[in-house]
Structure 1
Amino acid sequence: MSTETQPAPEPETEKLDGRVLVIAGVVVLGAIMSILDITVVSVALETFKQEFDATAAQVAWTMTGYTLALAAVIPMTGWAADRFGTKRLYLLAIVLFAAGSALCALATSLPMLVAFRVVQGLGGGMLMPLGMTILTRVAGPERVGRVMAIMGIPMLLGPIFGPILGGWLIDIASWHWIFLINLPIGVAAIIYAAKVLPRDHVEPSETFDWLGMIMLSPGLALFLFGISTIPETGTFFATKVVVPVVVGIVLIAAFVPWALNRRNIHPLIDLRLFQNRNMTVAVLAMSLFAISFFGAGLLFPLYFQQVRGEDAMNAGLLLAPQGLGAMITMPIAGMLADKIGPGKIVMTGIVVITIGMGMFSTLTDTTSYAFLLTSLFIMGLGMGGTMMPIMSAALATLREHTIARGSTLMNIVQQVAASIGTAVFTVLLTNGLQDKLTPSTPPDEISSVTAGVYGDVFVVAAVLVALVLVPAFFLPRRKVEHELDPAVLVGH
């Protein structure tokens, strides 16, 4: 039976049935491939510098190229899912990702590796929004909180096990294996998806928004390229940053009136979804959350490595309490979000994260590991009740093809906001270290001064996380109603 014509489960069906869980397994497997790969490669950057005799800025393109490919392909995912069907597109995404992984392992130069990372990104960019669409359709809007909790699993496991797996593979084998490891996972995912995903039954009727693509995809890619260059230049005002950011913003701004034009029946990204109050509030909450939490998340392993002298693998292990905390609260938060609405859950989660982040703002170079691991565990408890309930608030009131458009929109917001957060906190840390560490700083005080800078940056992170309470206050604080005005649903 097709995902498009299949009736939603009855509201009184509380638990996720076996069929939903089997399909969730496919989605989680694909998402783990995509997210794990980002963190695994981050561990190998130093190895790439030595292998290809390149600078840090040059090897950073192995990350930036992947991100830019994501930005370019995510906007097209909603249209393609409606046009060709989610199963076909999901299989294509896995094939592209696995093929890109194989090519990366065969790369003999840095430009080749960057080019093949772009191929990987084209596949990886489709996996998350497609996964959300597939799960939301098969489970029905009444259980969207619980399926979003399932989607949160790879988002937790990637940052924890990525550095551990990457460091281990590089130590026992070579950097090629951080890409080769994706091949058996990809083959298993293709077989699994082909067998269990519902057969597509689509009626290709929508025209493709070529003008929208020409504006939005390059606009997002240029914007993220400029933002990604900030850590390299150390300032927001370098020409290398300002020019692509401004051009990107102009293209994105030009897309907005085009997308809202009544003559444009099927825009690349359906901005009419913002007529849905829950979607608008969720986008604002997700933007602030991704900037603050994902941006600051970059600093945790750096602190352990720079100040405490841990290697990448141990730094990854030390982050495990965060994942454990989130694994405890995420399924509970998903269930409660379906029953009482996501508003109260998200606000509680934000308060808990702020407490944990505030604990990190007291860092020194001798802060006990028990204190650090406890604060990470507290942040994990809060994170489990925050990100995926925000996603469920956005998607719970959507129906049929608008689910694909909504999940695409939320993934774009998360990707862009996380990139902005990473750039902001990297610059804050870099400039703070430059200001505080001078040639006259005694060697025995370097660790102490560095830890103090990290503490100052975590103060900023705690304040930004706390600001998420403002949009979170307007999220639904009772069970979400699943009926929308028809004009909003069809986007006319």
Structure 2
Amino acid sequence: MSEPQKASTADWIAVFAGALGALVATLDISIVNSALPEIQGEIGATGTEGTWISTGYLVSEVVIIPLTAWLTRLLGTRTLLLISVVTFTVFSMTCGLSHSLPMMILGRVGQGFTGGALIPAAQTIIRTRLPARQMPVGMAIFGLIVLLGPLAGPVLGGWLTENVSWRWCFFINLPVAIGLMTLLLIGLKHEKIRWEVLRTADWLGILGLATCLSSLTVVLEEGQREQWFDSDLICILSVASVIGFILLMVAQATAPHPVIKLRLLLERSYASVIVIVLTIGTALYGMLYVLPQFLGTVSGYNALQTGRVLVLSGIPAFLLMPILPRMLEKMNLRISVIIGLLCFAGGCFLNLHLTGESDGAAFVASQLLIGTGQMLSLLPLNQASVGAVSKEDAPDAAGLYNMARNLGGSIGLALLGTFIDRRDEFHTDILRSTLDANAPLVQERLSAMTASFARNGADQAYAQSQALASLSQTIDLQSLVMTYSDCFWVLGVALLASIPLTLLLKTPRRQADAVLGGH
């Protein structure tokens, strides 16, 4: 039976429902970042404890994403999404009403565990409800959502915190959930629960997957703050992660129906997609970490000002979304991914010449180029990921794809945290060693600063100490600027290194032509 030429109205309603669910889930990853200081102050959490507000969400989300395919087979797409939306809303209200850290962490873990299923489900709906000819449009919508969610989160969170209350970062999910449930009921058909899936479940694989991913995510997120293997917690979780991985591999070899189809990675085209997406996830979340750090510590920007700079990279996504699907019909998928990776890397390299005077204006060109690169690479990679597997394997492929992006982000943040500490120390030592206290230029600078402080009423001894402190702060600032420049360089090189893998990608367009008779 041939595939329909065009999707029905119900199909498009289902696609938009899935996209809206994915937007809510990706938005809530970062919406609390701007509000963290206010949240910590009100619930009585320290800075270190407050990191679990973000980590709790990421840990539970990365566990549920690869399990979504199995849950879809068990419950059906509509039932799973409706349960996810209702419980996600309940946990959102729990966060908004929180007055203690345990209650907040419980709410965030619940949000991640229920909202995480919305992301791969959206990709699965696109793969299963749209004909091949219209799939690029659906993937463009999904790609836009994945990009804009993390970018818009800090802006929306900052605005709500400053103008209403941080609690509305969570309460805002209620009206969205009502609209989403309406779309799901209209666009998706009810499917019977398949209890036999539960009876024959790969429980060893589920246990191994949950243990491995949750432990690994905590290690990556908290390792730098806990001084890595100097911490008993990190050591225990590292061992747990290895044990979980072993259990997962045993289940892959022995279970008749593994909970997650890692055999998909034996397909070279799909495996190359996963590695590239892992790299893009590292660069994407790395940029979302390094750029706010620079603007906050060097430029003195607040959360809302920083968010406005970050969201610049979303402009190309809006501009390209209407035309990119048609462009990809004419352009080879590999070429698009290569151009996208080059643009993304080029945007990183534009940030190599930062100074202590750089502000948001210095990032306009690089953000626009990075946004262009993300759209040109992620959209065809979405297509390549579903085009490399059968329609039956689409849910599993979507779960692995989204898990790779999120896991890449966690790996990137862990590596960058350590890299920043080491490079900052390195640059500080180099700068201090090159400044001779007896050098004429140093003496001239110190004399000028001492005179300036003395004119403002300080005695000579205090003015000299202020001048030395000011020089030390200047050294620290310059070493920090050089460190952030190094981060952009590393991210750019990582993106360039993934380009050879694009040669292994398969273009789904040929498959679509075969389905449609070459028309």
Normalised to the residue count of structure 1, the TM-score between the two structures is: 0.89
Q: CA deviation at 1:369?
A: 4.4
The reply to whether residue 193 of structure 1 matches residue 188 of structure 2 is no
The reply to whether residue 209 of structure 1 matches residue 239 of structure 2 is no
1:474 to 474, 485, 504: 504
Amino acid at match of 2:157: G
Distance 1:435 1:257, change over 3 A: same
Q: CA deviation at 1:223?
A: 0.8
Distance 1:99 1:202, change over 3 A: closer
Contact kept in structure 1, 2:273 and 2:381, CA below 8 Å: yes
The reply to whether residue 277 of structure 1 matches residue 268 of structure 2 is yes
The reply to whether residue 287 of structure 1 matches residue 278 of structure 2 is yes
The reply to whether residue 348 of structure 1 matches residue 378 of structure 2 is no
Q: CA deviation at 1:203?
A: 5.4
1:28-427 → structure 2 map (5 Å cutoff):
28-200=19-191, 205-206=196-197, 207-235=200-228, 238-261=231-254, 264-337=255-328, 340-367=331-358, 369-427=360-418
Contact kept in structure 2, 1:142 and 1:338, CA below 8 Å: no
For structure 1, which segment, 411-420 or 246-255, has the greater mean C-alpha deviation from structure 2 after superposition?
Answer: 246-255
For structure 1, which segment, 123-132 or 196-205, has the greater mean C-alpha deviation from structure 2 after superposition?
Answer: 196-205
Contact kept in structure 1, 2:143 and 2:382, CA below 8 Å: no
Distance 1:331 1:248 in 2: 43
Q: CA deviation at 1:361?
A: 1.8
Contact kept in structure 2, 1:234 and 1:427, CA below 8 Å: no
For structure 1, which segment, 224-233 or 44-53, has the greater mean C-alpha deviation from structure 2 after superposition?
Answer: 44-53
Contact kept in structure 1, 2:12 and 2:187, CA below 8 Å: no
Contact kept in structure 2, 1:231 and 1:427, CA below 8 Å: yes
Contact kept in structure 2, 1:227 and 1:245, CA below 8 Å: no
Contact kept in structure 1, 2:387 and 2:507, CA below 8 Å: no
Contact kept in structure 1, 2:309 and 2:364, CA below 8 Å: yes
Amino acid at match of 2:307: G
For structure 1, which segment, 187-196 or 272-281, has the greater mean C-alpha deviation from structure 2 after superposition?
Answer: 272-281
The reply to whether residue 9 of structure 1 matches residue 4 of structure 2 is yes
Q: CA deviation at 1:397?
A: 3.8
For structure 1, which segment, 337-346 or 454-463, has the greater mean C-alpha deviation from structure 2 after superposition?
Answer: 337-346
Could you list the per-position Cα deviations for residues 72-126 of structure 1 after superposition, in whole angstroms to 9, with x for gaps in the alignment? 3223211111122101101111111111001111212001110111111111110
Contact kept in structure 1, 2:348 and 2:488, CA below 8 Å: yes
Distance 2:98 2:401 in 1: 33
Q: Which runs of 5+ in 2 are unaligned?
A: 430-467, 515-519
Matched residues, percent identical?
A: 25
Contact kept in structure 2, 1:429 and 1:454, CA below 8 Å: yes
Could you list the per-position Cα deviations for residues 209-261 of structure 1 after superposition, in whole angstroms to 9, with x for gaps in the alignment? 11111111111101111111123135466443343124213321331242144
Contact kept in structure 2, 1:129 and 1:404, CA below 8 Å: yes
Contact kept in structure 2, 1:75 and 1:217, CA below 8 Å: no
Distance 2:330 2:12 in 1: 20
1:422-461 → structure 2 map (5 Å cutoff):
422-437=413-428, 442-461=472-491
Distance 1:343 1:335, change over 3 A: same
2:14 to 23, 38, 49: 23
Contact kept in structure 2, 1:346 and 1:390, CA below 8 Å: yes
Q: CA deviation at 1:17?
A: 6.3
For structure 1, which segment, 308-317 or 223-232, has the greater mean C-alpha deviation from structure 2 after superposition?
Answer: 223-232
Amino acid at match of 2:478: S
Distance 1:111 1:368, change over 3 A: closer
Distance 1:156 1:452 in 2: 28
Contact kept in structure 1, 2:347 and 2:370, CA below 8 Å: yes
Q: CA deviation at 1:442?
A: 2.3
Could you list the per-position Cα deviations for residues 112-171 of structure 1 after superposition, in whole angstroms to 9, with x for gaps in the alignment? 110111111111110001111112111134443332211122222223321121112111
Structural RMSD (CA)? 2.5
Q: Which has the higher helix share?
A: 2
For structure 1, which segment, 199-208 or 403-412, has the greater mean C-alpha deviation from structure 2 after superposition?
Answer: 199-208
Contact kept in structure 1, 2:288 and 2:310, CA below 8 Å: no
For structure 1, which segment, 474-483 or 384-393, has the greater mean C-alpha deviation from structure 2 after superposition?
Answer: 474-483
Contact kept in structure 2, 1:291 and 1:417, CA below 8 Å: yes
Amino acid at match of 1:405: D
Distance 1:370 1:175 in 2: 28
Distance 2:4 2:481 in 1: 52
Distance 1:319 1:82 in 2: 38
Contact kept in structure 1, 2:205 and 2:247, CA below 8 Å: no
Contact kept in structure 2, 1:82 and 1:404, CA below 8 Å: no
SS in 2 for 1:51: helix
Distance 1:334 1:68 in 2: 33
Contact kept in structure 1, 2:78 and 2:188, CA below 8 Å: yes
Instruction: Show the counterpart of 1:490.
Output: none
Amino acid at match of 2:506: P
Contact kept in structure 1, 2:124 and 2:395, CA below 8 Å: yes
Distance 1:368 1:173 in 2: 28
Could you list the per-position Cα deviations for residues 320-350 of structure 1 after superposition, in whole angstroms to 9, with x for gaps in the alignment? 2211123333454444445555211111100
Amino acid at match of 1:458: F
Distance 1:40 1:293, change over 3 A: closer
Distance 2:3 2:43 in 1: 53
Contact kept in structure 2, 1:294 and 1:422, CA below 8 Å: yes
Distance 2:359 2:167 in 1: 37
Q: Larger radius of gyration, structure 1 or 2? A: 2
Distance 1:182 1:478, change over 3 A: closer
Q: Which runs of 5+ in 1 are unaligned?
A: 1-5, 485-492
Q: CA deviation at 1:20?
A: 4.0
Distance 1:247 1:367, change over 3 A: same
Contact kept in structure 1, 2:349 and 2:492, CA below 8 Å: yes
Contact kept in structure 2, 1:141 and 1:397, CA below 8 Å: no
SS in 2 for 1:398: coil
Instruction: Show the counterpart of 1:487.
Output: none
